[in-house]
Amino acid sequence: MSIPSDLDIAQAATLKPMDDVAAQMDLPPEYLERHGTDVAKIELDAIEAMKDRPRAKYVVVTAITPTPLGEGKTTTTVGLGQAFSHIGKRGVVAIRQPSMGPTFGIKGGAAGGGYSQVVPMEKFNLHLTGDFHAVTSAHNMLSAVLDNHLYQGNEAGLDPYRVTWRRVLDVNERALRNVVTGLGGRMDGVPRESGFDITSASEVMAVLALSNDLGELRQRLGRIVVGYTKDGDAVTAEDIHGAGSMAALMRDALKPNLMQTLENTPVLVHAGPFGNIAHGNSSIVADRIGIHGGDFLVTEAGFGADMGAERFFNIKCRASGMVPDAAVVVATVRALKAHSGNHKIVAGKDLPPALLEENPEEVHAGGANLRKQIENMRLHGVSPVVCINAFPTDHPSEHQAIREIAESLGARAAVSTHFADGGRGAAELAEAVAEAANEESHFQLLYPDDAPLREKIETVATKVYGADGVDYAPAANTSIDLYERNGFGNLPVCIAKTHLSISSDPKLLGAPTGWRMPVREVRASVGAGFIYPICGDMRTMPGLGKNPAAHHIDVKPDGTIVGLF
Q: Binding site residues, as ranges?
A: 67-74
d(CA 167, CA 171): 12
Annotated binding-site ranges for ATP: 67-74
- Amino acid, single-letter form, for residue 360: P
CB atoms near residue 528 (< 10 Å): 29
Count Cα neighbours of 305 within 13 Å in the Cβ-side half-sphere. 29
- Amino acid, single-letter form, for residue 422: G
Measured in residues, the chain has a length of 565
How far from 560 is each of 124, 554, 555, CA to CA, in Å? 15, 9, 6
- Residue 563 burial class via C-beta count within 10 angstroms: exposed 0-12, middle 13-18, buried 19 and up: middle
User: Quick check: 564 and 553 in contact, CB under 8 A?
Assistant: yes
d(CA 115, CA 423): 8
Of 193, 206, 368, 351, nearest to 275 by C-alpha is: 206
Helix, strand, or coil (residue 389):
strand
In this structure, the dihedral spanned by the alpha carbons of residues 142, 144, 150 and 155, taken in order and rounded to 10 degrees, is -40
d(CA 9, CA 122): 12
In this structure, the dihedral spanned by the alpha carbons of residues 57, 62, 64 and 68, taken in order and rounded to 10 degrees, is 160
- Residue 450 burial class via C-beta count within 10 angstroms: exposed 0-12, middle 13-18, buried 19 and up: exposed
DSSP 24-78: TTT--GGGEEESSSS-EEE-THHHHHHTTSPPPEEEEEEESSPPTT---HHHHHH
Of 388, 398, 366, nearest to 510 by C-alpha is: 366
DSSP 377: H
User: Quick check: 293 and 47 in contact, CB under 8 A?
Assistant: no
